[in-house]
Homo-oligomer: A and B are copies of this chain.
Amino acid sequence: MDYRAPTRDMRFVLTELLDYQAVTDLPAFSEVSDDLVAAVLEEAARFTGNVLAPLNKTGDQEGCRWKDGEVTTPKGFVDAYAQYVENGWNSLPCPPEYDGQGLPASLATAVQEMLNAANMSFALGPLLTAGAIEAINNHGSDAQKTTYLPKLVSGEWTGTMNLTEPQAGSDLAQVRSRAQREGDHYLVQGQKIFITWGEHDCTENIIHLVLARTPDAPPGVKGISLFIVPKFLVNRDGSLGKRNDVRCVSIEHKLGIHGSPTCTMAYGDEGGAVGYLVGEEGKGLAYMFTMMNEARHKVGLQGLAIADRAYQQALWYASDRIQGKPLVRKDEEKSIIGHPDVRRLLMTMKSGAEAMRALAYYAAYHMDLAHHHGDDAERRRSQARVDLLIPIVKGWSTELGVELASLGVQVHGGMGFVEETGAAQHYRDARITTIYEGTTAIQANDLIGRKTHRDQGAAMKALVAEFRDDQRSLEQAGGDLAGMAEPLGRALDALEQAAAYVANTHGEEPADTAAASVPYLMLAGFAAGGALMARSAVKAAEAMKAGDSDAAFYEAKIISARFYADHLLPRAVASLPAVQGGGRWTNALTVEQFRHQ
C-alpha cells in the first residue's frame, strides 16, 4: 500500500490555520514564502512516497540482522539513505553555519511527519542524528562542532543517544557507565541498551553520545556527564582513523519497527572507548534535557504519522473491498466505505490525525518564534507555549496514534489480522511511541510539575484563554459551527478545573497529582485538539465564504471538526473525574490486594 503525503492538509495547517506570516516575517526566514513551503512539501512527498514508503513493509518483513557486531539493515535502506543525504533532507532545519539549510522548524515538522509515515523505522536514524546535532551544537566546543557537525548535518554520519542501561530506564540517576579521564579524552566503559540505530550499514561512521559517570562524580543525576564516542575516531584532517572500542553485541527482537536496529552497545570491552567530554562534567543530564523537547516533539509526530499511514491503508481497503449492502450513497458507492461504521472508523482516524497535526505544527510554529523572534518577551511567551505543549504532543499524540492504528486494523476485518495486508504492521510499530523518549507517565509528570505546578498554571491559563477566542469565533460564525461552541466550552472548563487541581495538589499531595497526571494530559490533548479543529473549521468557513475554489476540501474540514466534537472531544470532560479523583482509589490497594483475585 502506497503512502501519499497529505500535503493539502499540511499546507492548510501551516499557511492557513497558523498565522504563518509571523514566521516568514522573521529575518531568519526571509526567503521562506508560501510557494517555497508548497514546493518543499511536494518534493518531500515525492521522495517519501517513491523511495521510503515502498521499503516500509519489506523492511518489516526482513528486519535487521546482526552478525559478529555488524548490523545489516533491510534491503534498500542503504540506497534510500544515500538518496536521503544526497537530496539534502537531513540538513533542512539545520544551522547554516554547518551547511544546514536553516528552514523553519514548522516546515521541517511537516517533512518529519512524512518521513515517519512513509517509514518510521528508517526515519528513526535521522531522528537520533538530529538529537546529536542539537547536543553538540548547543553544548560542544568549537573544535567538536567543526569536527562532527558538518557530516552529521549532511547525514553522511549518523548520531545516537546512549542513555538507557538495564537498571536505568526512566530513572537516569541510576546510570553506571564510567568515564575516566586520560589526557585530552576519556576512556568510557559500560553497557547501554535500547540504542536506536546504534549500529548499521548506512554510513561510514556513527557518532554516539553517551551518558557516563566520572570516577569521583557525586551519585545521582549530578554525577552524569555527556561524551562523544565516535565509532571511528576522526583524524585532524577529517579522515577516519582507528576503530573505537565500542561494539554492538546484540539487537532486540521487537514487536515492531523491525527495520530499525535496537542495539545493546558495549563500551570499553577492550580497555575503554575513547570519548570526548561535551561541555562540563556533571551536566550531562541537563544537556540531554535541552534537546529532549525536540526529540519528544518528533516522537509525538510519529503518533500522528503512523495514524495517517494507517488511515491511508484503511481508506484504500475500504474503497476497494465490496461486502454487504452499503447504506450511504448507495448509488455511487459499492465498497464498504458505504457502511456507516466503516465511515465512523475512518472519520475517527481522519479527524484524530488532523487534530494531532494541528497541535504538533502549532507547537513547532511556536518553536520558530521562540528561537528567532526579535522581541525577547515574544520569544519567552512562545517558549513557554512550547514547553507546555511538548509533553501533550508527545503523550497525547502517541496514545491516540496507537488507538487509531488499531482502528485501521478493524477497517480490514479478518484481513487486518493477516500480516501480509500491512495494517497490522502499523498497529505493531505504533506501540513503541508511547514508551520511548519518556513514557506517557514521564510526559505527564513533566506536565504536572515543571509545566503546570511550577508557574501555578499560568501557561495553561494563557493557552485556555487563547482557545476561548476560538470558542467565541464558533459562536459568532453561527450555523453548523456554532454547535461546536458548547462542547468546546465544556472541554475548556474541564481543562481549567483539571489544571487547578494539579496546581493545588502537586506540592502537598504528590501521589494524588501523579495519579491524576495522565488523565490530565489526555484531557489537555483532546481539548487542545478540539480548539484547533474548531479554529480550522472557522478558517475553512471563511475560505469558502471568500469563494476559494477548493470548497470540497474546506467542507470536509468543517465536517471533520464537527465529527471530532461529537466523537473525540467529549473524552476531555470524561477524563475530569479521574483527575479530580486523584489517587484516592488509584493508590489505595496493597500489593497483596492487587494479587488477591
Where the two chains meet, the residues of A that have a C-beta atom closer than 8 Å to any C-beta of B are: 6, 8-9, 164, 167, 169-171, 174, 193-194, 252-256, 315, 319, 322-325, 327-329, 332-333, 337, 339-344, 346-347, 350, 402-403, 406, 409-410, 413-414, 416-420, 424, 427-428, 431-432, 434-436, 439-441, 444-445, 487, 510-512, 514-515, 517-519, 552-553, 555-556, 559-560, 562-563, 565-567, 570-571, 573-578, 581, 583-597
Name 11 extra pairs, CB < 8 A, besides A339-B514, A343-B515, A556-B589: A8-B596, A170-B324, A193-B414, A255-B419, A327-B510, A328-B587, A340-B517, A343-B583, A344-B515, A344-B586, A573-B574
Q: Are A585 and B566 in contact (CB under 8 A)?
A: yes
A sample of 6 cross-chain residue pairs with beta-carbon separation below 8 angstroms, ordered by A number, consists of A255-B424, A327-B514, A406-B406, A556-B589, A570-B578, A571-B571
Q: Find out whether the CB atom of B595 lies under 8 angstroms from the CB atom of A315.
A: yes
Q: Which residue of B lies closest to A430 (CB)?
A: B406
The answer to whether A578 and B567 touch across the interface, beta carbons within 8 angstroms, is yes
Residue contact A255 to B428, C-beta cutoff 8 Å:
yes
A340 and B586 contact, Cβ closer than 8 Å, known pairs A6-B597, A439-B413:
yes
- Closest Cβ of chain B to A58, distance in Å, is 15
Using Cβ atoms and an 8 Å threshold, which residues of chain B touch A350?
594, 597
Q: Is A327 touching B574 in the complex (CB atoms < 8 A)?
A: no
Query: Chain B: which residue is nearest A351 at the CB level?
Result: B585
Q: Are A596 and B418 in contact (CB under 8 A)?
A: no
Please tell me if the beta carbons of B427 and A410 are within 8 angstroms of each other in the complex.
no
Which residues on the B side are within 8 Å of A512 (C-beta)? 340
Name the contact of A413 in the complex, choosing from B6, B169, B416, B563 (C-beta under 8 A): B169
Q: Which residues of B contact A164 (CB under 8 A)?
A: 414
Q: A586–B556 Cα gap in the complex (Å)?
A: 11
Within the complex, the shortest CB–CB distance from A496 to chain B, in Å, comes to: 18
- Return the contact of A254 from the options B419, B515, B563 (Cβ within 8 A): B419
Are A566 and B588 also in contact (CB < 8 A) when A9-B597, A337-B594, A515-B340 are?
A: no
Q: Known: A410-B434, A435-B417. Is A170-B323 also a contact (CB below 8 A)? A: yes
Question: How far is it, in angstroms, between the C-alpha of A347 and the C-alpha of B424 when the chains are bound?
Answer: 28
A414: which B residues are within 8 A, CB to CB? 164, 169, 193-194, 435-436
Max count, chain B CB within 10 A of own CB: residue among A169, A333, A592: A169
Q: How far is the CB of A192 from chain B (nearest CB, A)?
A: 12
A256 to B587, CA, bound (A): 34
User: Whose C-beta in chain B lies nearest to the C-beta of A255?
Assistant: B424
Q: A344-B586, A577-B570, A586-B340 are in contact. Are A431 and B444 (CB under 8 A)?
A: no
Alpha-carbon separation in the docked complex, A435 to B342 (Å): 13
Complex: A340 Cα to B586 Cα, angstroms: 7
A579's nearest neighbour on chain B, judged by CB, is B566
Q: B324 near A410 (CB under 8 angstroms)?
A: no
Nearest Cβ distance between residue A114 and chain B, in whole angstroms?
Answer: 13
Contacts of A6 in B (CB 8 A): 597
Closest B residue by C-beta to A168 = B323
Cα A543 to Cα B427 with chains together (Å): 44
Q: With a CB–CB cut-off of 8 A, which chain B residues contact A593?
A: 552-553, 555-556, 559
CB distance from A209 to the nearest CB of B (A): 18
Cα(A303)–Cα(B555), bound, Å? 39
A544 to chain B, nearest CB (A): 14
For A519, list chain B residues within 8 Å (CB): 344, 567
- In the complex, how many angstroms separate the beta carbon of A469 from the nearest chain B beta carbon? 23
Q: Which residue on B lies nearest to A439, using beta carbons?
A: B413
Closest to A562 in B: B585
CB nearest neighbor in B for A487? B577
Nearest B residue to A342, CB-CB: B441
For A440, give the chain B residue with the smallest CB separation.
Answer: B410
Kindly provide the distance from the CB of A124 to the nearest chain B CB, expressed in whole angstroms: 13
CB-contact partner of A552 in B327, B403, B596, under 8 A: B596
Residue in B closest to A423 when the chains form the complex, CB atoms: B255
Is the beta-carbon distance between A431 and B409 smaller than 8 angstroms?
A: yes
- Which residue of the partner chain B has the closest CB to A415? B169
A234 to B346 Cα, complex, angstroms: 49
Choose from B341, B555, B559, B573 the contact partner of A441 (Cβ within 8 Å): B341
| Shortest Cβ distance from residue A508 to the other chain B in the assembled complex, whole angstroms | 13
The smallest beta-carbon distance between A4 and chain B, in angstroms, is 9
Tell me the complex Cα distance, A487–B577, Å.
Answer: 9
The reply to whether A346 and B594 contact each other, CB–CB distance below 8 Å, is yes
Question: In the complex the two chains form, what is the Cα distance from A585 to B560 in whole Å?
Answer: 7
* B347–A589 CB distance below 8 A: yes
Tell me the bound Cα distance from A22 to B560 in angstroms: 51
B591 touches A337 (CB 8 A): yes
Partner of A591, one of B9, B333, B413, B511: B333
For A572, the closest partner residue in chain B by CB is B574
CA distance A590 to B519 in the complex (A): 35
Question: Taking CB as reference atom, which chain B residue is nearest A424?
Answer: B255
Q: A221: shortest Cβ distance to chain B, in Å? A: 12
Q: Which residue of B lies closest to A171 (CB)?
A: B324
Cα distance, A346 to B410, chains bound together (Å): 26
Question: Knowing A343-B587, A517-B341 touch, does A435 contact B413 (C-beta < 8 A)?
Answer: yes
Residue contact A556 to B596, C-beta cutoff 8 Å: yes
**Residue in B562, B578, B583, B597 whose beta carbon sits within 8 Å of that of A8 in the complex:** B597
- 9 interchain residue pairs of minimum CB distance: A574-B574, A341-B441, A340-B514, A566-B581, A340-B515, A6-B597, A570-B574, A563-B585, A171-B324
A530 to B418, CA, bound (A): 35
Give the residues in chain B near A573, CB-CB below 8 Å: 570, 574
Verify B340–A587 contact, CB threshold 8 A.
yes
